[in-house]
Amino acid sequence: MIKKSLIAIAALGLISLSATAGDVVNINAASEKAELIAKEDLGTKKVMTEESLGLRKTNLYEEAADTVGELADYARPAAGTSKVFERAFTNAPPMISHDVEGMLPITTSTNTCLDCHMPEMAKNIPGTTPIPGSHFASFRPATAIAADGKITKEGKSVNNTSDFKVIATKMDTLSHARFNCSQCHAPQSKMEPLVGNTFTPDFGDSGLNAKSNLLDVINEGVN
């Protein structure tokens, strides 16, 4: 998942800046090209040497002074005019598809993201992704140690905390833990991909490539 997200950051070269809002675009298309995958010999390479671990493809022990990364270009269409980026995997934090100049940094008193992405606002702006229900819930159950030494969560005694169902207490307001949008969501840079990518996400429901259902499925697999 981490690899997929890193590749996504570098794979925006083919996205139009004059796109119609509401379209969903696979931002990894450039890194999925057959010629790039063949160049990397993905799937058949058995050994990676220490000299070839870096994305810059230069010997890590002999990097010259001119071995530097490319300058990232974050030029973006204005909010409301960009395409929606397909998520890297189910319920992955979506990448920001529009210009964020003047919107960062987010502070405790200023968050312009909320002006458009709060659910009540997003429904009136075509193509805008609403903040999902998981951001209006607390995942921090009250935890304590009872007099007998047992752990309790939300007043209930538990023996194996790893099997304890996640408690999502719904809130009427945005959770403070979710207020800093740029902690998980980042803008895309217009750069050619550095490595190939053979990972294909399985969204199950095709609509999950551009929306979240985390709050509904967070306890899947827990008895």
Q: How far apart are alpha carbons 159 and 181 in whole angstroms? A: 35
- In angstroms, rounded to a whole number, what is the distance separating the alpha carbons of residues 122 and 177? 21
Q: What is the pLDDT of residue 7?
A: 33
CA distance 102 to 79: 12
19 Cβ neighbours under 8 A, 6+ residues apart = 25, 77, 81, 82, 83
DSSP H stretches of helix in the chain: 2-9, 34-40, 114-117, 119-122, 214-217
CA angle 138, 141, 142 (to 5 degrees): 130
Report yes or no: 84 and 24 within 8 Å, Cβ to Cβ: yes
| Low-confidence residues in the chain, pLDDT < 70 | 1-22, 40-46, 51-54, 57, 63-64, 160-164, 223
Geometric angle at alpha carbon 34, from 87 and 82, rounded to 5°? 35
CA dihedral sign of residues 178, 179, 183, 188: positive
pLDDT at position 211: 92
Q: Residue 6 has what pLDDT? A: 33
Cβ(184)–Cβ(93) below 8 Å? yes
pLDDT at 23: 74
Rounded CA separation 113/178 (Å): 12
Q: Where are the domains of the chain?
A: 1-103+185-201
